[in-house]
Structure formats: C-alpha cells, structure tokens
Structure 1
C-alpha cells in the first residue's frame, strides 16, 4: 500500500534499498548528500550527483527512457556515522524557478519497483532548488520524511549549506614570481606535511565543449557540444598490453544493451559481431593484445538504436582465465566514428585479481542526450553472458 505524505510527515521504510525518483514538468537534476549526526557531509565525496554518481551506499541514476532522475539508497551499505541521506532537486534551466511546477518524489523498493511513498510539496514560488525528502535513521530503523525546503540560490546553495565545497568560479591567475632576497633566510625546520584539501565539487556538467575529456573512476561527460548532440556515431576502443614471460592474454570487449528496466536487449561480442541491423558493430576478436592502438573496438550508431535501448554497458573479460592483475595499461576511449578524433579517455590505473571489468556506460537521458560514465568495477566473469547481471546493476 502506498503512503502519501504531506510536508513534515514521515513513514517507515519497508525495504532496505529504496530508489527516490523526482519528477516535474521541467528538466531536473537530482542529488543525494550523506550527512552525519551534525547534519554535514564528512567530505565532498558524500555529495552524489551527475558529475559524481557513485557514493558509499548511494548512487545517482540519470533520467533515461522515460525514467526520471533518481537517487538509490542502500541503507545496509551506508557507512557508520551516516545518519541521514537528503535527496535534492534543482532545475536544469538556470533561469527557471519551481513556481507552479512543484516536483513529486516517488520512493520505490529498489529491488521490486513497488511504490512505497509519494510526496508533492506545497506551492512553491521563487525557489530554484529543493530538499525534497530525507531518508534517516531513528531508533535503529530507517524512515523517510517529506521535507520540501526550498532554496533560491540553486544546488550550490544546498550543497554549501550541508558542508560541500563548491567551486564554479575560474581559477585565480598564478601569483607573480618573487624577487630573490638580498640575504639568505635563516634555516628553519621543514614544515609538517599538509594533507591537500579535497577537490571542490563542480556543479557544471562536463561536456565536449572544451575538447577531449580525461575521466576518472565515477566521472561523467555529456556527448554534447554547444548545447547540441555532438555526433551520431561513436567508436569505443579498448586496449591492453599482453602479459610478460611469453604468456598471452585473450581479453574480450563486449557491449551490452539494456532497456529502461535494466533488462538485457542484446549483446555485441566476439560471438555476435553485429546487432540492431549494424547499429552496434564489433571489430572482431583479438586473442593476444598484440599490436599498437585499440585491440578491440565497438562502433555504435546512436541514431540507429531502437527506442527501447536506454543504456549501453561496455565490459572486458579475460576469456583465457588470467586475472586483471596480469594485464598492463588497460584503457577505454570514445572516438568520433567519422573522424577518428579521441573525445573521452579512461585509463585503469589499478587492477584487481578478477576476470571481468565493467569499463564504462553510455546512458540515454530523458532529453535525448547521451552521457558516458567511467565505472572501472571488477567482477569474476569470463564471458559477456556472465556480465549481464552485474552490468545491469551498475546502470
């Protein structure tokens, strides 16, 4: 039975894993913040949003295939000391307000999709961002509270309020060089090492406007330039170096297509090089990793994909059974399929003793744009078939 909350109301959560979807007549960006008992984040890593979609026990799901932006909270995976996760919504259009377009939060069982709770805040006016609901711990149990608190200074105002360092301003110019002193300064003890501060969270979406993008694990980039889709066909190149001591490693790159419910639609891999009438085409099997450049490539004609396809997950498996700790310099990169220009690159800097890795994903947004996110998560799977379930869980 669905519980309908009014502002300030609360309800127990019947599931340990819940997905909070937020919808409105206007495009939204939904975020989650992990808070301690003091009501603040521990660090900027506790801010989960479009540029940093994975946090401890909390993940961001971009809008795709009719499904809205959402935050999934796994209460059993939240770190000790986290007492609350607040879910926020901000308007994608910087000049718009929530006046007359109050968003609705739908809290679902993340495993079954069952609707548990809904909440629509009372009429809003000049607010541009909103704390919609909070998932909080009380007496050892987890509950959800309808908040509906508005902010007039956008997502940056919310993030700053909860202790996130936000930097959307350009970096200051470097200081001019200092002239040499006329006398030698007295010798001093070396200063104690200082832990560098966390990189401030950037609330500006990463696009291709400034050219090639290098991603780190969890980073995302929109395949847009100047506010428009940049290209209709991309090539995902995957590469690695063979192991030493004369051992060959047979890695296989694959692309798994999913629908909005995270069900597999098709897989392009060495056993099936072309799917969707050639909309996804695999270059063929490389048995050793020998040779310069990409070892295997998968070309995707985005405009040719069926409407039901909302997500593509690119995976690599060790068919020969060796662990990724035996593999050097594994990477994936996204190229313009027409010109060959490299657009995005993600280098795996660390390896784990597993036989499969989910490299990255491409997700179609509700607006139609595609966003690439670097994943770099290892699993024990030697074939693409065994990667379907873990890959779908990472969409």
Structure 2
C-alpha cells in the first residue's frame, strides 16, 4: 500500500504485524467518532493485552509484535482501531529503520496488505495503520504518522490519561516530511549537579514503627540517637526499618540507583510489573513521577532505566537512578512503587526485593527483601525522606494496595510519608 492509501479490509478477523530491525512495542487504540478513547481500557498494549475485539499478540518464535482485530466483536461506538509502533529502546529513533506493517487474515495467515512508512528520521513512535468503519464496511488505511515524543505522545493525542505527557502538538506527519521533535529528556548527568539548599520543612512522617532504628526527622544539629548509618557496610532492612544515607557523620552518596526485582511464583509464567518513583513536596503533594512512559524527570536528576539491568547482588528487573544533590529543594520525599498493570496479584510472584546501589561504584548498600506477599496489584517498596539536616533516610515499606498504575499509588504513597 502507498502512504495515505486505503482499501476494503476483506476479512472480518485480521492481524496487523509490525516488524523492524530494531525491537518494537506494538499497541492498539480503540477510538470513537470523536477520535478519542472512551477510557484507558481502550489502550491495548503489552501490559494490557485485551480489549473489546482487539488483542495484543507478543512477539514469539520469529513472529513480530502484532494487534489482532475481530471486527464483529468491536463495539458499535468504536469507529477506528489505530495500530502504533514505538521503539523498545526509548533512547533510539526510527532513523535508518524501516518498520513494515503486514495485515494478514487471522484465520488463514494470508497476507492482505503491506505498508512501509517512508522518510523516517527523529520519530520515536508511529501511527502505522488504522482499521476503520465506513458504514457497514471495514477498511484499512496506511498512515505512517510519526511522533517525536514516543508512545506517550500518541496516547495523549487520543485521550489516554498519560501522566505529565509531552504536549500533543509534537507530532510529525511523515506524509509531509515534517518532523518537529519534542524536546528530548536531558541525559542523566555524568557528574552530580551542585548541591541544592535543603528544604525548610520536610514531610511530616508518621511515627516510626516499633523496632524501627530511625526516629522521625529532627531539626538540623540535633543528636540522632541509635540511628543506623552506612558506616558498617551493607544494611539489610526489615519492614519499617530505616537507614540514614550517611557515613562518618556526612552525606555519603550523591547518586544512588534503586533496583527492584521479582520472579514468577510458579509454572514459569511471566510477570510483567512496572516500577516507578513518585516525588512529593513538604506538604505531601505530588510533584512528578518517573515511570515507564516518562523515563526522566527534574532535568535528569531522576532517570528510569526502562530496561532490565544486571549488577552486583543479583539481577534487577527495573532500576531508577536518583542524583540526590540534583533534586529541586522542594522535593522532600520519594516513594518507590511497583504495580501490576495487567492485574496479576503479588501472590503470583516471589522473591520481590528492592536494593539501593551506589551509582558510582555499583556497591550494594541497602537491601529489603519482601518476606510475604499479599493479593493486591500494587506495593510501595520503600521511601527516601529528606531530613531537616539535609540527610536522606531510607525506610522499607512493603505496603500493599489495590492500584494497577503509579497514578493510582499517589494518595496511598503520600499517606506513607
């Protein structure tokens, strides 16, 4: 098919495959006549693979990521299914990459149409094709519209509530060759920025749990009796336990990485969870969130890996790097959370943990292993709280809630500060 071309679909059940030399994530959005989703449930992707009449099929055995459409099962108010592709490596662009969409009959596998968008450069995500209604007939159109602000830009354009997404006008229409790139997230600094002044009032934490080694924050200059620091090496925390990120009475760390990991509980079933960090001010109001659809906040002072990392002490499924001295002074608390967007309970996983690593030396400093799980879809793993003195204290939380996204964790996380 040529870009902008359309044709009768010719089959009631089709699969739209999108393949490229680079690994892709393929998604589908169910749109009404207004060009918007009815709710976030109309966004079908790897973490939410089922929608009414639309299914995400993950890449396997040489077959690419795909969206399957059963037109007979699509609700009447849905007029279009938009099929998108974004790069799995969120730092890459489509420059030099030619993704090809192949529309196949879902029952026979027969190829019906193929389309390769031309002239790609700075785009990081594409609307590749759309399957749409015209009266009683279903048709397919070759689109090839590029976005420079990734999948979040596409999702926002079509009404998905993406938290703090980039402006929707950062689209690039490949048909015209225009590609106005949205400002890219600044790179993570190689050396920490100059320290900022400590806030005048940190969050008011709840009283320290019984057995916690660290009392509530105290004014600068007050003695901290019996607190655990990093002087004796790695610290293993239990739920409610705290450790000050100090050594020899001074702030020890400028940049830390929080690694989070887990394993399927049995039968080899994959568990795809999302790790995020929510930043709060002194009044426990949310300032920003770093998560899989927004990998960098505060000019790179917090950066989400977006990838699996392997380091000392075991393999992390996801990791978040925090340049403590680069955080704005209004950031007083960070809560690290993990969510199951597709709805699996944490009783379906085992060996969940979080660990704090010195980002400069890769030395593991603090570890918290969840000893027990609960049948919920969200867990607050730990928090970092800035004290009156400017030091940071990490506390193991291990608190479970019913929340499938970081956005739903904001209120319960604020209450844990």
TM-score by length of 2: 0.47
TM-score by length of 1: 0.50
